[in-house]
A and B are shown apart, each in its own frame.
Chain A
Amino acid sequence: MTGAGIDVKNLVKQYPGQRALDGVSLTIDPGSYTVILGPSGSGKTTLLAILGGFVEPTSGKVTVDGQDVTSVAPSRRPTTTVFQDYALFPHMTVGQNVGFGLEMQRVGKKDRMSQVSEALEMVGLAHTKDRHIADLSGGQRQRIALARALIVKPRVLLLDEPLGALDVKLRRHMQDELTRIHDTVGTTFVHVTHDQEEAMSLADTIVIVRDGRVDDIGSPEQVYLNPISAFSAQFMGDSNLIEGTITDDGNAADTAWGRVGVSTPGNPHDSVTVSIRPEHIEMGATGPGNLGEWIVAESHFLGQRYRVIARRDNQEILVSLPQSSSVQQGQSVLLGVAPEMARIVKGDLS
């Protein structure tokens, strides 16, 4: 079974006194692993619930493989959902839980049993078939929920913060599992999370949602390296944001920190906000992109990099320096931006 493509047009969901979605349009590629990323209250869970059929939008349209499913009941959609708290049936065994969808499709017992075993095999829990849900660990429940949702061969699997309840180590492990399972089954995965690291490690496509709208969309590389807005620059990892004016030739911006080359040309003399990733700032750089002398205020060794906060007057800059560059607090450093590594973003500093 291959995954289905999803088209979402102008979705609006109005709750009394609150607009959860404010005109979301989005295309999800067949078979992709799409992560919808946003802070809590951004509307990402509402969006997923509308895709699953649990919430009807106030207006707008959802099509799956060209078919309008906007007001189709969840049971009749080619989608299944892995719920945040897994929603495993506590009065049934693992096997009964996983086989539930097939039972609803009136698949014969023998056929069902073998498919249940297969599904459990896929998530590495074949031995738990006769156990009760209460006897499973969090990670096991997560995988049983996955097996139960996948056994009916949905064209689209919807995952609502599926790793939120797991501890960090288990979460990493489950991320790898999810990627492996996605590659195995070929279904389109749509995964909602507020964790940008999780999004980066899983997604082919990241959709950043903010205040009920799509803020940015693209591959992890795109949204990280070329964030479209100040919001997504800050939400996807650390970023330095500074206001500036585009130079005459359009290829740089003059900021309070100095002149920095921008990745894509801007309109000369426009007032813009520029985003600079901490790891794109180098020590001792000169020439274009020179940010001048700064005093190291804080320096933290994080293993792979140093996280350094440097100050000048009442300005502050966040720098990520390689292991080799040991800097001391109070030290004066010359900083510069690698050419064209500053990005003009929409929106203001917030």
Chain B
Amino acid sequence: MKLLRGSISWIYALLVFGFILMPVASLVVFSFQATNLPLPPFTGPSLRWYEELFADSGMVEALRNSLVVGVVSAFFSTALGFLSAYGLARYRPAGARAIRAAIMTPLGVSYLVIGFGLAITANELALGRSLVLVTLGHIIINLPLAFAILLSQMRDEDETLEKAARDLGANEWVVITRIAIPVVVPGLLAAFLLSFTLSWDEFLIAFFLADFDVTLPIEIWSQLRTGLDAKTNAAGTLVFAISVVALTLAYVLNRAVQQRSRRA
């Protein structure tokens, strides 16, 4: 009886994970397909589609665009998130609670609304759609996350460190660059990597705001529309791999961050 119950739960678990992971697995497996169609039977392994991927100027450009948009938007999300968290924690302005809520608001707004809203606004201001606008959109969605991560890292003990630095003659610039930033480096990196990952495979906002220069998810989407091709599998695998790497790093750093909070 016990054995039966055990095996049923095992089978159930396998089915669930199979359901979740099967699309990813087939995406990855058939990116190594030797023949044209990413359909069974598996004919590989072959790197043929990766060669074609990197020979496709549209794909390569989209990949580069995605990297640039990801890095730039993650940088600004993290920088702005740090400054707002630092300002809120250290200077305790009147209405801190309201300010915090305002910064967190975009988390509760759908990407559709943010993308659409930005597109309309850009139109009103006669700004063309562009990757700059996409970057802006990604900063808007990632800033609240970076802010939340970094706000959790603002400890009162660190405020004493800053006091000590001021006491020894440091000005505010030195306090921020030499004390406040170094003590939250793991938090900054975690915020950066998480922001990058979310920007990296974000579709909707990029779709609304990009013009001729597009990001990788859009390029993959438009190539998928023209026909089934194992090249898109290769591109998808690449997106997946980079996300996994970034998320793993973010996870590891986040653990360091948690430990730091616990120690407090």
Interface residues of A (CB under 8 A from B): 52-54, 73-75, 79-81, 83, 85, 87, 89-91, 100-101, 104-105, 148-149, 152
Return the CB mask of B140-172 against A: 1 if under 8 Å, else 0.
000000000000000001001101111111110
Contact of B179 among A81, A83, A89, A148 (CB under 8 A): A89
Contact of A52 among B157, B167, B169, B171 (CB under 8 A): B167
Contact status of A73 and B166, CB under 8 A, knowing A85-B160, A87-B161: yes
Please name all residues of chain A whose beta carbon is closer than 8 Å to the beta carbon of B128 when the two chains form the complex.
none
Q: B22 an interface residue at 8 Å Cβ cutoff?
A: no
* Residue with the highest number of chain A CB atoms closer than 10 Å, among B161, B168, B182, B183: B168
Distance (Å) between the CB of B16 and the closest chain A CB? Answer: 43
> Secondary structure of the B side of the interface?
helix
Q: In the bound complex, do residue B164 and residue A83 qualify as a contact, i.e. CB atoms below 8 Å apart? A: yes
Q: In the bound complex, do residue A89 and residue B161 qualify as a contact, i.e. CB atoms below 8 Å apart? A: yes
Contact of A104 among B157, B160, B174 (CB under 8 A): B174
Within the assembled complex, what's the spacing in Å between the Cα atoms of A53 and B166? 10
Q: In the bound complex, do residue B167 and residue A74 qualify as a contact, i.e. CB atoms below 8 Å apart? A: yes
Q: In the bound complex, do residue A90 and residue B183 qualify as a contact, i.e. CB atoms below 8 Å apart? A: yes
| Given A75-B168, A87-B157, A152-B169, 17 further pairs, Cβ under 8 A | A73-B166, A74-B167, A75-B171, A80-B167, A83-B160, A83-B164, A87-B160, A87-B163, A89-B165, A89-B183, A90-B161, A91-B183, A100-B165, A100-B170, A101-B169, A104-B168, A104-B169
* Residue with the highest number of chain A CB atoms closer than 10 Å, among B164, B182, B183, B185: B164
Distance (Å) between the CB of A304 and the closest chain B CB? Answer: 40
Q: In the bound complex, do residue A85 and residue B166 qualify as a contact, i.e. CB atoms below 8 Å apart? A: no
Residue of A nearest to B174 (CB): A104
Residue of A nearest to B160 (CB): A87
Q: In the bound complex, do residue B170 and residue A83 qualify as a contact, i.e. CB atoms below 8 Å apart? A: no
Please name all residues of chain B whose beta carbon is closer than 8 Å to the beta carbon of A79 when the two chains form the complex.
167
Q: List 20 A-B contacts (CB under 8 A).
A: A54-B163, A74-B163, A75-B167, A80-B168, A81-B164, A81-B167, A83-B160, A85-B157, A85-B160, A87-B157, A89-B161, A89-B183, A91-B182, A91-B185, A100-B165, A100-B168, A100-B170, A104-B168, A148-B168, A152-B168
Within the assembled complex, what's the spacing in Å between the Cα atoms of A80 and B167? 6
Within the assembled complex, what's the spacing in Å between the Cα atoms of A81 and B168? 9
Q: In the bound complex, do residue A75 and residue B169 qualify as a contact, i.e. CB atoms below 8 Å apart? A: yes
Within the assembled complex, what's the spacing in Å between the Cα atoms of A52 and B167? 8
Return the CB mask of B179-190 against A: 1 if under 8 Å, else 0.
100110100000
Residue of B nearest to A158 (CB): B167
Distance (Å) between the CB of B112 and the closest chain A CB? Answer: 42
Please name all residues of chain A whose beta carbon is closer than 8 Å to the beta carbon of B171 when the two chains form the complex.
75
Distance (Å) between the CB of A311 and the closest chain B CB? Answer: 49
Distance (Å) between the CB of B231 and the closest chain A CB? Answer: 46
Within the assembled complex, what's the spacing in Å between the Cα atoms of A86 and B170? 17
Please name all residues of chain B whose beta carbon is closer than 8 Å to the beta carbon of A152 when the two chains form the complex.
168-169
Residue of B nearest to A151 (CB): B168
Residue of A nearest to B175 (CB): A75
Within the assembled complex, what's the spacing in Å between the Cα atoms of A105 and B157? 25
Q: In the bound complex, do residue A101 and residue B161 qualify as a contact, i.e. CB atoms below 8 Å apart? A: no
Q: In the bound complex, do residue B161 and residue A75 qualify as a contact, i.e. CB atoms below 8 Å apart? A: no
Distance (Å) between the CB of A258 and the closest chain B CB? Answer: 54
Q: In the bound complex, do residue B164 and residue A87 qualify as a contact, i.e. CB atoms below 8 Å apart? A: yes
Residue of B nearest to A81 (CB): B167
Q: In the bound complex, do residue B169 and residue A105 qualify as a contact, i.e. CB atoms below 8 Å apart? A: yes
Please name all residues of chain A whose beta carbon is closer than 8 Å to the beta carbon of B163 when the two chains form the complex.
54, 74, 81, 83, 87
Please name all residues of chain B whose beta carbon is closer than 8 Å to the beta carbon of A75 when the two chains form the complex.
166-171
Residue of A nearest to B171 (CB): A75
Distance (Å) between the CB of B261 and the closest chain A CB? Answer: 14
Within the assembled complex, what's the spacing in Å between the Cα atoms of A92 and B76? 27
Distance (Å) between the CB of B171 and the closest chain A CB? Answer: 7
Please name all residues of chain B whose beta carbon is closer than 8 Å to the beta carbon of A105 when the two chains form the complex.
169
Within the assembled complex, what's the spacing in Å between the Cα atoms of A83 and B160? 8
Within the assembled complex, what's the spacing in Å between the Cα atoms of A303 and B183? 49
Residue of A nearest to B162 (CB): A87
Within the assembled complex, what's the spacing in Å between the Cα atoms of A90 and B164? 12
Distance (Å) between the CB of B243 and the closest chain A CB? Answer: 30
Ordered nearest first, which 4 A-B pairs have the shortest CB separation?
Answer: A104-B169, A101-B168, A87-B164, A87-B160
Please name all residues of chain A whose beta carbon is closer than 8 Å to the beta carbon of B174 when the two chains form the complex.
104
Please name all residues of chain B whose beta carbon is closer than 8 Å to the beta carbon of A81 when the two chains form the complex.
163-164, 167
Please name all residues of chain B whose beta carbon is closer than 8 Å to the beta carbon of A52 when the two chains form the complex.
167
Distance (Å) between the CB of A283 and the closest chain B CB? Answer: 52
Please name all residues of chain B whose beta carbon is closer than 8 Å to the beta carbon of A90 when the two chains form the complex.
161, 183
Residue of B nearest to A84 (CB): B160
Question: Which B residues between 47 and 82 are near A, CB-CB below 8 angstroms?
Answer: none
Residue of B nearest to A90 (CB): B183
Within the assembled complex, what's the spacing in Å between the Cα atoms of A104 and B165? 9
Distance (Å) between the CB of B92 and the closest chain A CB? Answer: 13
Return the CB mask of B7-26 against A: 1 if under 8 Å, else 0.
00000000000000000000
Please name all residues of chain B whose beta carbon is closer than 8 Å to the beta carbon of A54 when the two chains form the complex.
163, 167
Within the assembled complex, what's the spacing in Å between the Cα atoms of A337 and B182? 64
Within the assembled complex, what's the spacing in Å between the Cα atoms of A83 and B166? 13
Residue of A nearest to B185 (CB): A91
Within the assembled complex, what's the spacing in Å between the Cα atoms of A53 and B169? 12
Within the assembled complex, what's the spacing in Å between the Cα atoms of A74 and B183? 22
Please name all residues of chain A whose beta carbon is closer than 8 Å to the beta carbon of B185 when the two chains form the complex.
91
Please name all residues of chain B whose beta carbon is closer than 8 Å to the beta carbon of A91 when the two chains form the complex.
182-183, 185
* Residue with the highest number of chain B CB atoms closer than 10 Å, among A73, A79, A81, A87: A87
Within the assembled complex, what's the spacing in Å between the Cα atoms of A85 and B164? 11
Please name all residues of chain B whose beta carbon is closer than 8 Å to the beta carbon of A104 when the two chains form the complex.
168-170, 174
Q: In the bound complex, do residue B166 and residue A74 qualify as a contact, i.e. CB atoms below 8 Å apart? A: yes
